[in-house]
Amino acid sequence: MLEIKNLHASIDGKPILKGVNLRINAGEVHAIMGPNGSGKSTLASIIAGNEAYEITQGDILFEGNSLFDLQPHQRAAAGVFLAFQYPVEIPGVSMMNFMKTAINEIRAQNGLQPMEAAAFLKLVREKQALVELDAKLANRSVNQGFSGGEKKRNEVFQMAMLNPTLAVLDETDSGLDIDALRIVAQGVNALRNPNNAFLVITHYQRLLDYIVPDVVHVLANGKIIKTGNKDLALELEAKGYDWILETTQA
């Protein structure tokens, strides 16, 4: 489904990603772990289509086509979703209008009519229940005055509403208490199916107790220096990132 080939990217002439290779098949959950500043959010932003980064080499194929041929909104319509590490507040735009616009924009790009109001409300109720999001938040402006945990849960709510083919979650666990973590994981696990895939970025192993990955990668200094199964995450937790940096000569 997703194939990242020898990806090099820079910002302001400074190389951040230095040859990332990654292949994700439908039905899989991959985790990317790594020290702060290793390039995890950069990779997520590039998949979503952030143009601040300059791609200096390599390609990203999504279902066989280069993502670089698609604008961010076209990537969303194709089924790519990014849950941000730092969700933005959008004053003056209610959650309901934001979601309705997002869904109908994606439907329009795929040649579908806008969703019927009743079907939309039903979907909202179903997905709100999934992430135990307070229904009152739906009438407020997007993320405005939401607590850290509410913003993260709202990201997973949006993901559930859009039902993406590929979801990238950038440190969705940071700042969550254990209950919120469980709820976020429950949302992700409920969406998992043989036709979609998840890329879960996390600094800590904790989230991976709840969202059990098929594959774990370690990104350090702009490169994937180690790939393994879920036990790699536990090993990292026990031994720290220094251990892996020393043993792999990154």
Ligand X SMILES: Nc1ncnc2c1ncn2[C@@H]1O[C@H](COP(=O)(O)OP(=O)(O)O)[C@@H](O)[C@H]1O
CB of 67 to ligand X, least distance (A): 17
Decide the pairing of beta strands 90-94 and 2-11: unpaired
- Please report whether residue 41 would count as binding Mg ion according to CB under 5 A: yes
User: DSSP states of 46-98 as a string?
Assistant: HHHT-TTSEEEEEEEEETTEEGGGS-HHHHHHHTEEEE-SSPPPEEEEEHHHH
Q: Which does 205 bind (CB under 5 to 8 A by kind): Mg ion, ligand X, none?
A: none
Binding mask 203-222 for Mg ion (x = CB under 5 A): --------------------
CB of 171 to Mg ion, least distance (A): 6
CB of 176 to ligand X, least distance (A): 17
Kindly list the residues in this chain that would bind ligand X in the complex (CB under 6 A).
Answer: 11-12, 16, 34, 36-42, 52
Q: Nearest-5° angle of CA 73, CA 77, CA 82? A: 70
Residue 40 or 151 having the CB closest to Mg ion:
40
User: DSSP states of 146-207 as a string?
Assistant: --HHHHHHHHHHHHHHH--SEEEEESTTTT--HHHHHHHHHHHHHH--TT-EEEEE-SSSGG
Residues 6+ apart with CB under 8 A from 105: 73, 76, 77
Q: Which does 42 bind (CB under 5 to 8 A by kind): Mg ion, ligand X, none?
A: ligand X
- Please report whether residue 38 would count as binding Mg ion according to CB under 5 A: no
Residue 52 or 112 having the CB closest to ligand X:
52
Q: Give the residue carrying structure tokens 């849960």.
A: 153
CB of 244 to Mg ion, least distance (A): 18
Residue 37 or 114 having the CB closest to ligand X:
37
Q: Which does 37 bind (CB under 5 to 8 A by kind): ligand X, Mg ion, none?
A: ligand X
Residue 133 or 181 having the CB closest to Mg ion:
181
